[in-house]
Amino acid sequence: MWKDLLDLPRNVWRSIFRNPLPSSDRGRAATSFTNFFLHIQPVRVSKQALRPSYTMGLGLISFFLFVILTVTGVLLMFYYVPSTGMAYDRMLDLRSSVAFGIILRNMHRWAAHAMVAVVFLHMCRVFLTGSYKPPREFNWILGVCLFLLTLLSSFTGYLLPWDQLAFWAITVGTSIAGYAPLVGKELKFLLLGDANVGQEALLRFYVLHVVVLPAVLTIFVAVHFWRIRKDGGLAKPEPAALPPAAAAEPDVAAAAAVPAAEPARRFVIQGLVRGPLVKVGKLEEDTVFSWPNLLIAELVVLLLTIAGLLAVSYFFNAPLEQPVNVMHPPNPAKAPWYFLGLQEQVSYSAFWGGIGVPGIELLLLVLLPFIDRGKQGVGRWFARERVLANSVFLLFVLINVVLIVIGTFFRGANWQFVSPF
Amino acid sequence: MRLALAVLSLVVLIGSGVVVYDQFHSRWEDNQKAYFNQALGLAKTPAERASLEARVPKIEQTIVTGFGEQRIDRCVSCHIAVDDPRFTTEKQPLATHPYSEAMGDVLRNGRWERRHKFTDFGCTTCHDGQGRGLDRADAHGDDSFWPEPMLGYTMQDGWKKEISSHLHGKEYMQANCARCHTAKDFAGTPLVARGRELFFKTGCYGCHRIEEISSGTLGPDLTEVGKERKLDYLWGHIVNPRDYTATSIMPQFKLTDEDRKALVIFLKSRRGSDLTESDTERFRLKSANVTPALPGVSEPGAAAAGPALTPAARGEKLVGDLACMSCHKLGDRDGGISPDLSYEGLMRDQPWLMDHFRSPRSRIPDSNMPAFGLPQADFEAITAYLLTRTTPPAAATPADTFKTLCVRCHGEKGDGKGINYLYLDPAPRDLTRAEFMVSKPQERFIASIRDGVAGTSMPAWGKSLSDEQVKGVLDYVWQTYVKEPRRQLKPRKVPEQNPAPTSAESIGRGEATFMQRCTGCHGRKADGHGPNSMDISPRPRNLRNFAFMQHTPDRRLMESIEYGVEGTAMPSWMDYGLSQSDVGDIVNYIRSLNQTGK
């Protein structure tokens, strides 16, 4: 009886964490797949995937930003009221009267902007390392969807402070949606619930922002992560040791069997740890155990994200402009920065700039893995074999960045060209 | 990697510590603690002492519901001693709000009682500022986005130094007093009353509408200007309207800083609604649609005095009362904005003046004179008075004649930049531009001086000056400003009458050519406001100035188009491939625009 009581803490601990802190390879493997939060990670991870210069942690940063956004967002929800009469007052309260209000709002705001940027950079990383090639085509498509969802989440959140900046940015943004052919007007009406941005739009954007989009985003993130595992981890370069002649030698059937063989190997490891299987699969040589190598790397990225965000949020306040005045649009009224490239294009042609060109760009992005079927240059930055694809992609990125820079800094009243200097 | 992890953990820990420390360390708490300590020293009874010792800093707020929209004022969280009479000599933020008999505070049994209790009024009802803020900068409205910085106290970051230096002082709060104390002669708001007076004396009412006060339509409605604009804009815009809107036609009135201050305060008090009336009353007033009466004009006293005066004498009084000379020149009084009326009786006739009063733009289409909503009888009286101004200027040398009559518009240098050139549209001719001057025949200049130029501010001097004098002035202009010998003009082959017959097809063709060739300068409406017009001097002609167009013969139009106008941006369109019949079509098109004019 006494002994049971004395052992109580240890027994509770054991019931939660099946494995003691691992000291053997077998223990390290077991730790990974007996823990709910760790089992999404592989037992062993390739050294290449751990190199900071390879991924720059961009995907992880995006995910951590999303987590931070969820946490700060839920806390902000305790104060926010999606009503045109009260939203702005609540912003003022957050700014000076609510405990931690300003830091919460700043973190949420800057994390939202950062997430748009980081998700985009992550996409660039995946492209430039050719990581969308088979078998990862579908995960690339999921990634494009996630990028769009990030944009939408950020955009719907932009309206909620209900200040001049928010009001007119959303007015401009939804007008761009209105240029879509056939369904444009209806889409805009559906989004706003009214002919103009008003109470209905605020409520709709609120619900989209706090419920619908985060839920969809979470599901997509889950599938995105799951696919990374099922597609064999992060993209690796083709084994350099294998001479090109040998690679060409196996017949078609053998080549098709290769992806199927990869998951099988992992089952082998699990079987080994659990006991019944005796057969030891050959471990890949350039891999290390996830515990603790991957875990530490992930923690570093998490802390780096939090530290950076805290610093920015401490020194820079999220903007809060005048209360909404429907009669006085600012001149120029600008969309959020990530849509300013679109707005700049719209200033040349409403349909082509707002719907046509971005639509084609998006379609190209989605179809990319099915257009570019070359097998070379996977898992390496700026692989020489992919010079054409990379150049075209970078050109598109450059054009869009330049358009955004022009829209942000070089456009003054009446969308006239002005110099910011 | 592990080292990085350790360092980062430390950084995040410290960062979080800083954030937490910041949150639990606010100025308002310090202020309250300082107040408690000082009050403890002043406390007389143990009970008072005990209650003070028990107090801990907390957010103090007043929820104001009685005045307009509900507002929450947390100002007292810092200014915690506002109602504690022992702190009158303290410095802010721990000072007592002053007591003032003028504001209705009463001294009873040695204790002051406030007329405007903070529990009822809060703070921002009178002071403006942002009541919810607990931070000094937030609460006072330092942030340039906040629409209501504290009146007369807070100057926002974006405000120009030379403007904001005028905007300090508690008298600016009269603008908020007037939101409840709406009576014109309320003793507490002398500057609002003065501003209202100036609003009429300087003629603002002629262009601007303010509900229940004035009904001008030429300028923006100022009914809610106090809600929409901050003090710096109001002041700066009165000093120079074109600093804010490059194309504004609002004159720069000559006002002293004191007058500007009164006007700014008056305008700031115009917030669209006053706090004493209910929504129902407001609606009733609005739907009654009263035309506001002008003070000093139609008031009963003026009507009683009316019959005793002849129309001309009454007109003379009206010209003074209505402050016509805040723009015009008459005798030795000169507003420096609008034309000289001293010889009006020699220049205009009764129908012209009456038409012009009723609608200035029926005679001078680009005039910036407002159509004042005066009764017919008043216009007749003023017309009668102006028609008595028939004393021609004393005969003098051409140089002196030019100085007294022409310099006001054409400028001392003859470059068309007299004191009022900015307000005249079309602008006065630049007499120093020799290319233009030598390209036109002498007869045209003589005619312009003698008969005036219709549709513009150039009046007919024929009755004021003899033909000899006119010629003398022209010779003087030539010697002093043109400084080039007159040229024998080559006769040009231009038909007297437009050879193209007027027809719908011809007008259509003319319109097509016009839209292709002419709109860059003359504008798509042919009103002279094309995209290039701002960069061109002299400005392109407004081809919808029907008064001018009526008096311009076909020959001159065709010549200007075919051969261009020397010394201006108008090119010779023959050189650009327009044929005689193309030009005829264009003239037909331009004429068609002026058919329905008037």
Is B228 an interface residue toward A (CB < 8 Å)? Answer: yes
Is B132 an interface residue toward A (CB < 8 Å)? Answer: yes
Cβ of B138 within 8 Å of Cβ of A300? The answer is no
Residue A267 corresponds to which tokens in the numbers above?
Answer: 């089952």
Residue B304 has pLDDT above 50, yes or no: no
Q: Mind listing the pLDDT tens digit of every residue in chain A (421 residues)?
A: 888 899 899 889 888 887 778 888 888 888 877 788 887 888 888 888 888 888 899 999 999 999 999 999 999 999 999 999 899 999 999 998 898 999 999 999 999 999 999 999 999 999 999 889 888 999 999 999 999 999 999 999 999 999 998 999 899 888 888 888 888 889 999 999 988 899 999 999 999 999 999 999 999 999 999 999 888 888 877 765 444 444 444 444 444 444 444 444 444 455 555 555 444 455 566 788 888 888 899 999 999 999 999 999 999 999 898 899 888 888 888 888 998 898 898 888 888 888 889 999 999 999 999 988 888 888 888 888 888 889 999 999 999 999 999 999 999 887 888 888 7
Of B9, B132, B146, the CB nearest to A97: B132
pLDDT (0 to 100) of residue B13: 95
Nearest chain B residue to A304, by CA: B8
CA distance A122 to chain B (A): 22
Cβ of A163 within 8 Å of Cβ of B138? The answer is no
Cβ of B8 within 8 Å of Cβ of A310? The answer is no
SS3 (DSSP) at B166: coil
List all residues 6 or more positions away from B344 whose beta carbon is below 8 Å from its beta carbon. Answer: B353, B386, B387, B389
Residue B308 has pLDDT above 90, yes or no: no
Nearest chain A residue to B18, by CA: A314
Is B139 an interface residue toward A (CB < 8 Å)? Answer: yes
Cite the DSSP H helix spans in B289-324: 300-305, 311-321
pLDDT (0 to 100) of residue B289: 64
Read off the pLDDT of residues B6-56 as tens digits, 9 standing for 90 and up: 999 999 999 999 999 888 888 899 999 999 999 998 888 899 899 988 999
Lowest mean pLDDT among A135-139, B117-121, B140-144, B203-207: B203-207
List all residues 6 or more positions away from B414 whose beta carbon is below 8 Å from its beta carbon. Answer: B430, B431, B432, B477, B480, B481
In this prediction, residues B353-374 reach a mean pLDDT of 87
Is B189 an interface residue toward A (CB < 8 Å)? Answer: no
pLDDT (0 to 100) of residue B295: 55
CA distance A137 to chain B (A): 32
Sign of CA dihedral B479, B485, B486, B492: negative
pLDDT (0 to 100) of residue A270: 54
Is B212 an interface residue toward A (CB < 8 Å)? Answer: no
Instruction: Note whether B407 and B241 are within 8 A (CB).
Output: no
Chain A residues contacting B via beta carbons under 8 Å? 89, 92-93, 95-97, 99-100, 103, 163-164, 293, 296-297, 299-300, 303-304, 306-307, 310-311, 314, 320-323, 325, 328
CA distance A413 to chain B (A): 12
Residues of A in contact with B59 (CB under 8 A): 97
CA distance B222 to chain A (A): 14
Q: How far apart are CA A29 and CA A45, in angstroms?
A: 11
Is B287 an interface residue toward A (CB < 8 Å)? Answer: no
Residues of A in contact with B12 (CB under 8 A): 303, 306-307, 310
Nearest chain B residue to A99, by CA: B23
pLDDT (0 to 100) of residue B303: 46
Residue B306 has pLDDT above 80, yes or no: no
What's the ipTM?
A: 0.79
pLDDT (0 to 100) of residue A240: 56
Is B3 an interface residue toward A (CB < 8 Å)? Answer: no
What residues are paired with B334 via a beta bridge? B329
List all residues 6 or more positions away from A406 whose beta carbon is below 8 Å from its beta carbon. Answer: A344
Residues of B in contact with A45 (CB under 8 A): none
On average, the pLDDT of chain B sits at: 88
pLDDT (0 to 100) of residue A120: 95
Cβ of B147 within 8 Å of Cβ of A93? The answer is no
pLDDT (0 to 100) of residue A348: 87
Angle at A106 between CA B133 and CA A119, to 5 degrees: 160
Nearest chain A residue to B4, by CA: A300
In this prediction, residues B205-218 reach a mean pLDDT of 84
CA distance A338 to chain B (A): 23
CA distance B391 to chain A (A): 52
Q: How far apart are CA B280 and CA B287, in angstroms?
A: 11
pLDDT (0 to 100) of residue A416: 84
SS3 (DSSP) at A124: helix
Residues of A in contact with B77 (CB under 8 A): none
Cβ of B139 within 8 Å of Cβ of A311? The answer is no
Cβ of B134 within 8 Å of Cβ of A97? The answer is yes
pLDDT (0 to 100) of residue B334: 83
Cβ of B133 within 8 Å of Cβ of A321? The answer is no
Read off the pLDDT of residues A123-160 as tens digits, 9 standing for 90 and up: 999 999 988 988 899 999 999 999 999 999 999 999 99
SS3 (DSSP) at B420: coil
Q: Supply the angle between the helices B504-517 and B580-593 in degrees, to the nearest 10.
A: 100
**A16-26 CB burial, b ≥16 within 10 A, e <16:** eeebeebeebe
Kind of pairing between the strands at B214-215 and B329-330: unpaired
Residue B68 has pLDDT above 80, yes or no: no
Residues of B in contact with A163 (CB under 8 A): 145
Query: How does DSSP classify residue A323?
Result: B
Nearest chain B residue to A308, by CA: B12
Is B29 an interface residue toward A (CB < 8 Å)? Answer: no
Cβ of A321 within 8 Å of Cβ of B145? The answer is yes
pLDDT (0 to 100) of residue A283: 57
List all residues 6 or more positions away from A329 whose beta carbon is below 8 Å from its beta carbon. Answer: A168, A171
Cβ of A95 within 8 Å of Cβ of B133? The answer is yes
CA distance B560 to chain A (A): 34
Cβ of A314 within 8 Å of Cβ of B145? The answer is no
Q: How far apart are CA B277 and CA A149, in angstroms?
A: 50
Nearest chain B residue to A294, by CA: B1
CA distance B3 to chain A (A): 10
Kind of pairing between the strands at B106-108 and B71-73: unpaired
pLDDT (0 to 100) of residue A36: 81
Nearest chain B residue to A322, by CA: B145
Is B130 an interface residue toward A (CB < 8 Å)? Answer: yes
Burial class (CB in 10 A: 0-12, 13-18, 19+), B247: exposed
Cβ of B5 within 8 Å of Cβ of A296? The answer is yes
Cβ of B145 within 8 Å of Cβ of A163? The answer is yes
Residues of A in contact with B233 (CB under 8 A): none
Residue B423's nearest CA partner among B250, B239, B255, B218 is B250
Q: How far apart are CA A137 and CA A290, in angstroms?
A: 25
Q: How far apart are CA B111 and CA B55, in angstroms?
A: 24
Instruction: Note whether A297 and A270 are within 8 A (CB).
Output: no
Please give the single-letter amino acid code of residue A33. F
Q: How far apart are CA A191 and CA A205, in angstroms?
A: 8
Read off the pLDDT of residues B327-358 as tens digits, 9 standing for 90 and up: 888 888 888 888 999 899 999 999 999 999 88
Of B8, B15, B16, the CB nearest to A300: B8
Of B1, B23, B138, the CB nearest to A297: B1
Instruction: Note whether B209 and B215 are within 8 A (CB).
Output: yes
Cβ of B23 within 8 Å of Cβ of A297? The answer is no
Instruction: Note whether A116 and A150 are within 8 A (CB).
Output: yes
Residues of B in contact with A311 (CB under 8 A): 15
Read off the pLDDT of residues B483-533 as tens digits, 9 standing for 90 and up: 888 888 888 888 888 888 889 999 999 999 999 999 999 999 999 988 888
How many CB atoms are closer than 10 A to CB A271? Answer: 15
Is B18 an interface residue toward A (CB < 8 Å)? Answer: yes
